[in-house]
Amino acid sequence: MKRFIPCLVAVAFLLSGTAAVQSNAQTSARSKTITIFGLVSDDGKSVLAKGSRTWLVTNPSTLAGREGHRVKIKGRTDPDTSNILVLTVKLTDAQTQYAANKSDSAFHR
């Protein structure tokens, strides 16, 4: 009987730990890593992506100095609340300049 009580307590403790791990797995399964091309707002707290979708940035300090610029963001999203945790940020070209050479085959007919 003296061994039964500690075993019962150990089993209860292990089961509660398993439940906590499962709830964390469900939370991480809902969020996923995506890449967004968009325009950083003037306050740096949101990003306007293609399709006029606005993402609220949960860590706006990563976008400091990039306000008003077009960026490529990789981050973890929460689709229910439209929040994004920014992992990496890269500036993209505001305008792409094309150069043409008149000796190219595109100009010959």
Enumerate the domain spans of the chain.
1-27, 31-91
Report the DSSP pairing between strands 53-57 and 83-91: parallel
Q: Is the dihedral of CA 59, 25, 78, 68 positive or negative?
A: positive
Q: How confident is the model at residue 58 (pLDDT cuts 50, 70, 90)?
A: very high
Structure token digits, residue 31: 């969020």
Alpha carbon distance 31, 79 (integer Å): 7
Contacts of 95 (CB under 8 A, 6+ apart): none
Check: CB of residue 39 under 8 Å from CB of residue 53: no
Domain 31-91, second-level architecture: Beta Barrel (2.40)
Report, as an integer, the average pLDDT of 17-37. Answer: 64
pLDDT for 23 = 47
* Mean pLDDT of the chain, nearest integer: 77
Report, as an integer, the average pLDDT of 49-63. Answer: 89
| Maximum mean pLDDT: which of 13-17, 28-32, 39-43, 97-101 | 39-43
Report, as an integer, the average pLDDT of 43-66. Answer: 90
pLDDT of 93 > 80? The answer is no
